[in-house]
Amino acid sequence: MPDSGLVEHVELSAADLLLRPWRDADAPAVRDALRDPAIAQWNPQGGDPIDDEVALLWVRRRADWSTGGHASMAVTAAADGELLGSVSLHRIHDGDASIGYWTVPAARGRHVAVRAVVRLTDWAFADLGLHRVELCHAVANPASCRVADRAGYPAEGTLRESYRYGDGRRYDEHLHARLATDR
């Protein structure tokens, strides 16, 4: 259980996708992805320039699940291992978590984020025993709203100026959530 301080690494299949723990070898692809303006806007990395060292540290932090507080996975093409995106459970505690994701430009419009979110959410309920997973996104990011809707996360409300995004401004966010009992 996550509250015991340990979430075991797993690999999860979702049709033509493989969700797997991050590896050092992913750092060059992560460097390129984090430089994408859309990813930088909606997934801020603290303002540091994204170079090889920053990307490697990013990968290593997400590969370390030892605290039990998160489970972050690379979303890859099952056929050739190409990095398509990221999907993560954050703030895993007391049966709850939040989920976040991004996709590289070449993966957009192919429902990669939807399939990854659905697969990780199913694992969170079935294997981690979570009860609630929340998904927040900026109201100004309609693509993330479509991901939430298509992944079965009903909208619950709007959080006013709740998060500072990549341009340094605070944005209203939509709150979506799924419960284990929604399945």
Q: CA separation (Å) from 28 to 9, 35, 43, 120?
A: 22, 11, 18, 24
- Angle CA(138)–CA(141)–CA(31) in degrees, nearest 5? 95
* pTM attached to this predicted model: 0.93
> Tokens 């033509």 identify what position?
16
Is the separation of the CB atoms in 59 and 28 below 8 Å? no
Task: Indicate the fold that domain 2-135 takes in CATH.
Answer: Aminopeptidase (3.40.630)
Residues 24, 27: Cα–Cα separation, whole Å: 6
Question: What average pLDDT is seen over the chain?
Answer: 92
Beta-bridged to residue 177, according to DSSP, are 134
Nearest-angstrom CA–CA distance, 77 and 50: 24
- The string of pLDDT tens digits covering residues 125-150 is 999 999 999 999 999 999 999 999 99
